[in-house]
Amino acid sequence: MTSFNAFTPPARLLLGPGPSPVSPRVLAALAQPTIGHLDPAFVGLMDEIKALLRTAFRTENEMTLPLSGPGSVGMEACVINLIEPGDAVVVCQNGVFGGRMAEVVRRCGGQPIVVESPWGRAVDIERVEAALRAHPRARALGFVHAETSTGARSDAEALARLARAHDCLTIVDAVTSLGGSPLEVDAWDLDAVYSGSQKCLSCVPGLSPVTFSARAMQTIAQRQHPVQSWFLDMGMLASYWQGDGGRSYHHTAPINALYALHEALRVVVDEGLPAAWERHREQHLALIAGLEQLGVSPVVPASERLCQLNCVSIPPGVDEADVRRRLLLDHGIEIGAGLGALAGKVWRIGLMGHGCRAENVERFLTALAGTLDRAGN
C-alpha cells in the first residue's frame, strides 16, 4: 500500500499577487482547537471580527462581515445581491478583474455596459462619465479599486462621486486595497465593497470581507426577485451573523480561518491603518528605486501606481518564466507572472501586509540581480 507522508510546505517568501506571507502570530491563532459555530464564545468572536472589519474598511456599516470563500465569492455576493435580471450596470475594465465583474453581472441576468481603459492605467473617469450619461437607467457602477493584474490604482472617491451624481450604487473590488492603501468606505460613500483575506491583511486565503451601505441593504430588501444564490443571500447571512437574541444556522463557518482573520485584523489595527499605508508606500519606493538600478521599469505611471503590487516590464532578451523559476527554486521567492493582455510581458511583485518589509525588498533585489546576472543580462 502506498504511504503518504505529512505535507511540509517548502520555505517560501511570497512576493506575488497573493497569497501574501502569513505571520506566525496568525498561524498560531489558526491552530487553536475548533469550537462550535454557534458556541457563545464563537458568537463573541464573530462580533469582534465585525467590529475589526468596520475599523479596517473605515465604515459604520452594520452589514460588515467576512463571507466564507475567497475574494471571488465577495465579488459574486455584491453583484448578485444588488443586481436583478435586466438591470444595466456600468462596469469599468482596466485589467482582468473588471472583466470578471462584467461576466458575473452577465451571469446573474444583468446587462453589463463595459467601459474599457488601457491595461496599466487607472480607470478613465471621463469615459465612465460618458457611459453614465449615455445609460441613464444604469443601476450601478462597478470598478476595481486596486487592479492586481496590472498594478494600477483607480480613483475610487471620484468614481463614487460620479456614481452618486447619476443615482447609481457602487460595487467596489477592494480585494488588494484593503489594508494596503487608503480605502474610505464611509467618507467616499461606497455601497457594496468586497475584499480578500490573503492580500494586504496577510491572513490565510478563503475569506472575503464585505461591507454593504444602508442604501445597498435597502436595495436588497426591495428586490423583486429572490437572490439567485441561496448561499450568498445577504438577507439570510444576516440572520447568522447578526440575528439579535439568537443566531440561526445558515452554514458552518470556517471556524479556524476566522480565528486567523481575527488575529490578522488585530495586527492591522495595532499598527494603525495610516502607518500600514505609509509602510507600503515606503517599501514600494525602495523596491522601485532598486529595480530601476537593475534596468527594470514599472508599467504604471507614478501617480496611478499601487504600492502593494508592482507591475514591471521584462527587460529585453530575458526569459521571464525562467527568471521566476530560478527565484522560486534557488531563492525560495515567489513573484507573479503577467495575466491576460500582460501575460509574458510583465512580472508582478507584491509587497503585501506582513511581506511588506525592508528586509524582503533587499532579499528580493539581491536575488533578482543574481538571477539576471546568471542569465547573462
Binding site for ligand PLP (CB under 6 A): 18, 70-72, 97, 144, 146, 148, 173, 175-176, 196, 205
Q: Which is nearer to ligand PLP, 108 or 318 (CB)?
A: 108
Q: Which H or E run includes 358?
A: helix 358-374
Q: Of 18 and 254, which has the nearer Cβ to ligand PLP?
A: 18
Residue 52, amino acid: L
Dihedral sign (CA 115, 116, 117, 119): positive
Beta carbon nearer to ligand PLP, 105 or 365: 105
- Output 72 or 111, the one with its CB closest to ligand PLP: 72
Minimum Å gap between C-beta 327 and ligand PLP is 21
DSSP for 77-128, written as a single string:
HHHHHH--TT-EEEEEESSHHHHHHHHHHHHTT-EEEEEE--TTS---HHHH
Phi and psi for 68 in degrees, rounded to 5? Answer: -85, 90
Give which of 353, 50, 23 is closest to 175, Cα–Cα. Answer: 353
User: Which cell numbers in the block locate residue 32?
Assistant: 487553536
CB of 374 to ligand PLP, least distance (A): 31
Report the residue number, 72 or 239, with the smaller CB distance to ligand PLP. 72
CB 18 to ligand PLP: min, Å? 5
Q: In this complex, which beta carbon is closest to ligand PLP, that of residue 162 or of residue 172?
A: 172
The residue among 197 and 371 lying less far from ligand PLP, judged by its C-beta, is 197
Nine-digit cell at 181? Answer: 492603501
Which residue has 460588515 as its cell numbers?
Answer: 64
| Best CA proximity match to 217, nearest among 59, 58, 22 | 59
Rounded least distance, CB 22 to ligand PLP, Å? 14
Determine the Cα–Cα distance for residues 121 and 98; give it in Å rounded to an integer. Answer: 13
Q: Nearest distance from residue 215's CB to ligand PLP, in Å?
A: 23
The residue whose Cβ lies closest to ligand PLP is 71
Nearer to ligand PLP, 17 or 110 (CB): 17
Least Cβ distance, residue 149 to ligand PLP (angstroms): 7
For the chain, the farthest-separated pair of C-alpha atoms sits apart, in whole angstroms, at: 68
Which CB atom, from 17 or from 298, has the smaller least distance to ligand PLP?
17
Phi, psi torsion values for 312, nearest 5 degrees = -125, 150
C-alpha dist (Å) from residue 286 to 280, 349, 366? 10, 13, 13
Yes or no: say if 216 and 346 are a contact pair by the CB < 8 Å rule. no
Distance of CA 354 to the CA centre of its chain: 15
Residue 137 CB, shortest distance to ligand PLP, in Å, is: 27
Cis link prior to 66 (omega < 30° from 0)? no
Taking the C-alpha atoms of residue 324 and residue 322, their distance in angstroms, rounded to an integer, is: 5
Please tell me the number of Cα atoms within 13 Å of 213 on its side-chain side: 20
Nearest CB to ligand PLP, comparing residues 16 and 110: 16
Residues ≥6 apart with Cβ < 8 Å to 130: none
**Minimum CB distance to ligand PLP, residue 199 (Å):** 6
For residue 166, the SS3 value is: coil
**What is the closest distance, in whole angstroms, from the C-beta atom of residue 345 to ligand PLP in the complex?**
18
Closest approach, Cβ 298 to ligand PLP, in A, equals: 18
